[in-house]
Each structure stands twice: as structure tokens, then as C-alpha cells.
Amino acid sequence: MSKDFNNNTIIKAKPKDKPYELRDGKVRGLILRVQPSGKKAWICELRNYKGRKRRKTITIEPSNLTDANIVTLAQARKEALAIISQPEKYFFENAPKTTIKTKVFGDFFKGPYQDYARSHIRSYKDVLPRIERNFGHLFDRDMDKIAETDIVRWQKAKTVSFSTLQREFTYLKACLNRAIDTYHLVSTHHLERYNLKQPRNEAIKKEHKDPRYLSDAEELRLRQALSSRDDKLRKTRISANNWRWERKYAPPPPLVKMNSLIMLHH
């Protein structure tokens, strides 16, 4: 819920068990985020026409702060308006440099994304081959031309579990999102808000098995093994107790045999 902030709003925003956010009704996109620790941060949020969010934490040089390193409401609003009016300056100024300007998926994957993955994705040795193995047939397509129907056909052709499909599709979306957010090769793609659908007839059913009871011979062997284990533990405890007695340490209570189980003697 949005409401016009004032200084009392900031003061009265007390920490809770989980982080929460308050939205300014005067400057759309200005958010006050409150952590359970009590720490508060100003955030500016923008959305593109597809509804994809971009966020930037508002920071101000210490020399421009008016109150002991605290960003005031007035300063937060001023900075948020500046971000909203020039998003390319605040969101894209630190973009990695690349000579690749093409929208072709394969060119991006084999070039900038390989370099990005090696620097930022710990499991890149697993992720990169998975993307190429599953979506290499789309390498000659422009990234903003890869459609939902392509994913539907890919899903129908696979015979792995639905959870595996979801993981592979997540890797693809992460790659395409990086082309937008980091390299700005495309402004959007058709899979941003698409989620895989699990067919009803593929719902996983747990196999039910009737319990199997031990035969007489199996039960006898089990009881003998338990008895042997108990005897070994008892001997170990007695040996440890003797060692403690010799050194005048207080031993723990001895173990006694009762119905093939080890119990503490009280």
C-alpha cells in the first residue's frame, strides 16, 4: 500500500520478524525497506512495459548528507526522481564492455555470456553445457524472437522429470535476462513472464508397496546380531569404567542386558 511519506513515517517504521517495504505515494517507485535489524534503506524501483522490475538502492555521497550519514526523505525523493528521469544513466553506467552488438542467441551465449558465467556463476561448468545441450537448436534465433511455442515444443520432446525441465528452463531465462540487464542487447524477451506447465497426466505418483515381514530365520539372525552388538558395547563400557576407577574418576552407570536391548541401570 502506498501513502505519502513524512518524517514521522520513517521514525515509526519499526522492525518486524521479516523485512518489509513501504511505498511513497508522492514519488512512485520510491520504497523504504526495513530490515529485522532495524536498518532502513531507500530503493527506487522501475518497471518496463513488460512489467519486469529494476531496482537501485539510493546512496548519496557523505559530503552531501545532512544528518549523520542518514539519507533524509527529501534527499531520497530527489534522488528517486533523478533515477526515474534518466534510468539509462543509473542502471547502465557500469555495464560490461563488449564488442558484440548482435541479438543472435548463439553469438551472445558463446561470447559475452561465457565470460560472464565464468566470473559470476560458481557452477558454470555445469550450467553452460546444459544450456547448449537443451537450447542449442535456438542459437541462430534473435533473442527477442524466441517464443513460448519454442519452449512448448522443447518440453514435449523431453523425457526427463518436470523438476529437471524447470531447472533447465531457469538457466535459459537467466541467460536471456543477462542480455537485457547487463549487456542491453535486447530490451525484452518473450519468456520473461512465462512458466512451464506440468501436464496433468504426468503427475508423479508414489509407488505403494505392502510391508514385508521377516522370516523366522531372518528374525533369528537379527536378534543374534543385536545381542552380539549389545555384548560388545557392554564390554567396552566395563573396560572404560575400570579405566576411570583406576584414576578415581566417577564412572557412568553400567549397562545391563534386558530383552536384547541396552538400558541404563538405575
The pTM for the full model equals: 0.47
Indicate the average pLDDT of the chain: 81
Containing H/E element for 2? strand 2-3
- Report the alpha-carbon distance of residue 195 to residue 235 in Å, rounded: 62
Higher pLDDT, 205 or 112: 112
User: What's the confidence (pLDDT) of residue 262?
Assistant: 42
- Report the alpha-carbon distance of residue 177 to residue 94 in Å, rounded: 16
Contacts of residue 27, Cβ cutoff 8 Å, sequence gap at least 6: 77, 80, 81, 84
Is pLDDT of 251 > 80?
no
19 close to 25: Cβ distance less than 8 angstroms: no
User: What's the confidence (pLDDT) of residue 134?
Assistant: 96
Higher pLDDT, 245 or 200: 245
Contacts of residue 64, Cβ cutoff 8 Å, sequence gap at least 6: 75
254 close to 265: Cβ distance less than 8 angstroms: yes
Render pLDDT for 18-69 as a digit per residue (tens, 0 to 9).
Answer: 999 999 988 888 999 998 988 888 998 886 544 567 788 887 765 554 444 5
- Report the alpha-carbon distance of residue 29 to residue 2 in Å, rounded: 10
3 close to 25: Cβ distance less than 8 angstroms: yes
Grid cell 541467460 in the structure block, residue: 175
Q: What's CA 116's distance to the chain center, in Å?
A: 19
Is pLDDT of 266 > 80?
no
Q: Looking at domain 2-92, which of 1.20.140.10, 3.40.50.150, 1.10.357.10, 3.30.160.390 is its CATH number?
A: 3.30.160.390
Contacts of residue 109, Cβ cutoff 8 Å, sequence gap at least 6: 131, 132, 139, 175
User: Do β-strands 2-3 and 20-24 pair in parallel, antiparallel, or remain unpaired?
Assistant: parallel
Each as own residue / partner, the long-range contacts of residues 231-237 (CB below 8 Å, 24 or more positions apart, any chain) are: 231/257, 233/262, 234/262
Torsion of CA 220, 224, 226, 229, to 10 degrees: -170
- Report the alpha-carbon distance of residue 200 to residue 162 in Å, rounded: 11
Mean pLDDT, residues 95-114 taken together: 82
Radius of gyration of the chain (CA): 32
Render pLDDT for 178-235 as a digit per residue (tens, 0 to 9).
Answer: 888 888 888 889 998 899 988 776 554 545 567 888 888 899 999 999 999 999 988 8
- Of the ranges 111-115, 127-131, 216-220, 243-247, which is most confident? 127-131
